[in-house]
Amino acid sequence: MISASVPAVAVDRLVKVYKNVPAVSGISFALAPGSMTALLGGNGAGKTTTIAMIMGLLEPTAGSVSVLGADMPRQRYRVLHRMNFESPYVEMPRRLTVRQNLEVFARLYGVVDIAARIRTLAQELELADLLDRQTGKLSSGQRTRAALAKALLNRPEVLLLDEPTASLDPDTADWVRARLERYRRERGATVLLASHNMVEVERLCERVIFLKKGEIVGDDTPRALRARFGRASLEEVFLDVARGGGNAEAAP
Amino acid sequence: MSSSTARDPEPAAISPARIAAMVLRYWYLVRSSWPRLLELVYWPAVQMLMWGFLQVYINQNAGFFARAGGTFLGAVLLWDILFRGQLGFSISFLEEMWSRNLANLMMSPLKPVEFVIALMIMSVIRLAIGVVPVTLLAIAFFGFNLFGLGFALVAFFINLLLTSWAVGIFVSGLVLRNGLGAENLAWTIMFIFLPLTCVYYPVAVLPGWLQAVAWLLPPTYVFEGMRALMIDHVFRLDLMLESLALNAVLFTAGAAAFLALLKSARRSGSLMQSGE
């Protein structure tokens, strides 16, 4: 575990340009160890691009990303075993059973006692009855739980989540949020969450970073942002920023 | 140790455990689907039977081909090693694209070199599943024993496999960079080798300028070597060494192209997508 004074994730003047189209335009932020932060913004705001650069999946055009002290993507193999990721848009092989998938990823992440870890996760995430079913035959809620088990296999210190509750019914989504909250609390993990769900963000995150067209237009606690915009909910703040071209930093 | 659950890996080291994990992943997949297993045997068996019966017919009607007994069958089986070796490599890679799992792998501690080694191992396993039963069928139907080639078969096998991997690595890089739009290359690219490497006829049949092209391709030496062995009963070590040297160049070029395409994919964002 890194020292509390060193950010778990540090993003400095990060830029990503696809051909001539800017996706991320010089953003900077740092995530304190053990914090849970939301990355908000409309479609195309640069959330997924930012997360991909933090994971080392995408090379920045300019600027730097450091995770647990390692420069990404250059030094990614120093820290990838201490991170993990979950997104409904990235799937696990559908023909493999849940247990087979978890076993393969556990080996890739160098998990020490694989059988015990899968047992524990299956218990915590209520997957025990699903372990020997093909992943492709699970419902979307069950698949999300399996993907969450994959994301927690190595007990990551940094967990990146891209819309973890997208397409889930409210009950399952609530269940997933509770598990994430518990994991963060018990592990002291740093969590960065990209989401369109404002209720989720208000419940889970102590900090919100608003992105619009690749730039940070707001960075504060949910309460402070609501107060600054004079709005009752984060959803209304989101709409103000998205529609009005508003800047949460500059708002009265 | 940063975590009680995961081991700290050596950043520069290649991990046999991670390679084994990937082989296990593909083995689970092959095992889970009987059509996949059947497909591995089906085409090689059809090819072998068709060429085998054609050869029986020609042997009965032409003096020279009677002396050249077995060259067609030998060519069919060696061609299958080349073609199926590449396909075995490429299909395992494509499975990651089809299942939208590539981003999961690329964000895991799995290194590209470990991924490629796992794909090579899987190409050998798929090849064994496909070609061994067909080789046994060739003995049963035509009395042709490929294994009877002994040490020469080892030399042929190694050279053909190296070429198939070099091409497989290059094609995987193209798919990585360009998405599934480039998938067809995995199925078709090897067929350019069929006329140029002179699988079923001697290099001397080609026009002079095309012979120069043929001799740039490592499998040409293997098929010429196979004919020398089966017709003249001479093992041409010189051809095998030349093939090996060309394979070293081709494999290095394939690996370098893969790494360059991976780097380009990391820049362009195509690792985040698995579609077309």
Report percent pLDDT > 70 for chain A: 94
Which residues 101-130 of B are in CB contact (within 8 Å) with A? Answer: 101, 103-111
Q: Which of A1, A105, A112 sits opposite B2 (nearest CB)?
A: A1
Residues from chain B that touch A89, judged by Cβ atoms under 8 A, are 100
Q: Where does residue A17 rank: exposed (0-12), middle (13-18), buried (19+ CB within 10 A)?
A: middle
CB-based burial label for B188 (10 Å; 0-12, 13-18, 19+) = exposed
CB B78 within 8 A of CB B144: no
Confidence of residue B66 (pLDDT cuts 50, 70, 90): low
Comparing CB atoms, the residue among B109, B263, B268 nearest residue A109 is: B109
Per-residue pLDDT band for A157 (boundaries 50, 70, 90) equals very high
**What domain count does chain B have?**
1
How do residues A127-149 score in pLDDT, each as one tens digit?
999 999 999 999 988 898 899 99
Q: Do A81 and B18 touch (CB under 8 A)?
A: no
Euclidean distance between CA atoms A149 and A59, whole angstroms: 27
Q: Determine, yes or no, domain membership for B143.
A: yes
- Tell me: pLDDT of A201 over 50: yes
Residue B154 lies in a domain: yes
What is the structure's pLDDT at A250? 45
- Please judge whether A109 and B111 are an interchain contact, meaning their C-beta atoms are less than 8 angstroms apart: no
User: Is A251 a residue whose pLDDT tops 50?
Assistant: no
What is the per-residue pLDDT for A168? 78
Asked if A80's CB is within 8 angstroms of B108's CB, the reply is yes
Q: Which residue ranges make up each domain of chain A? A: 9-90+158-244
Domain hosting residue B104, numbered range: 16-272
Residue B122 reports pLDDT greater than 90: yes
Domain A9-90+158-244 CATH (choose: 3.40.50.300, 3.60.15.10, 2.70.170.10, 3.40.50.280) = 3.40.50.300
Which one of A16, A85, A96, A143 makes the best mutation probe of the B interface by having the most chain B beta carbons within 10 Å?
A96
Cβ(A222)–Cβ(A204) below 8 Å? no
Q: What pLDDT is stored for residue B192 in this prediction? A: 87
Residue A78 reports pLDDT greater than 90:
yes
Structure confidence by residue, pLDDT tens digits, B2-26: 445 666 666 668 899 999 999 998 8
B5 touches chain A (CB under 8 A): yes
Long-range pairs of A243-248 with CB within 8 A, sequence gap ≥ 24: A245/A212, A246/A217, A247/A217, A247/A218, A248/A210, A248/A217, A248/A218, A248/A219, A248/A220
CA angle B190, B193, B199 (to 5 degrees): 120
Question: Counting beta carbons within 10 angstroms of the beta carbon of residue A232, is it exposed (0 to 12), middle (13 to 18) or buried (19 or more)?
Answer: exposed
Q: What are B91-117's pLDDT values in tens digits?
A: 999 999 888 898 899 999 999 999 999
Residues of chain B positioned with their CB less than 8 A from the CB of A87: 103
Q: What is the mean pLDDT of residues A94-112?
A: 95
| Burial environment of residue A113 by CB neighbours within 10 A (0 to 12, 13 to 18, 19 or more) | exposed
Q: How confident is the model at residue A107 (pLDDT cuts 50, 70, 90)?
A: very high
Q: Order across the sheet with A62-67: list the strands.
A: A21-31, A9-18, A62-67, A70-72
User: Residues of B with CB below 8 A from A49's CB?
Assistant: 269
Band of the pLDDT at B67, cuts 50, 70, 90?
Answer: low
Residue A225, amino acid: L
Instruction: For chain B, say whether A117 makes contact (Cβ under 8 Å).
Output: yes
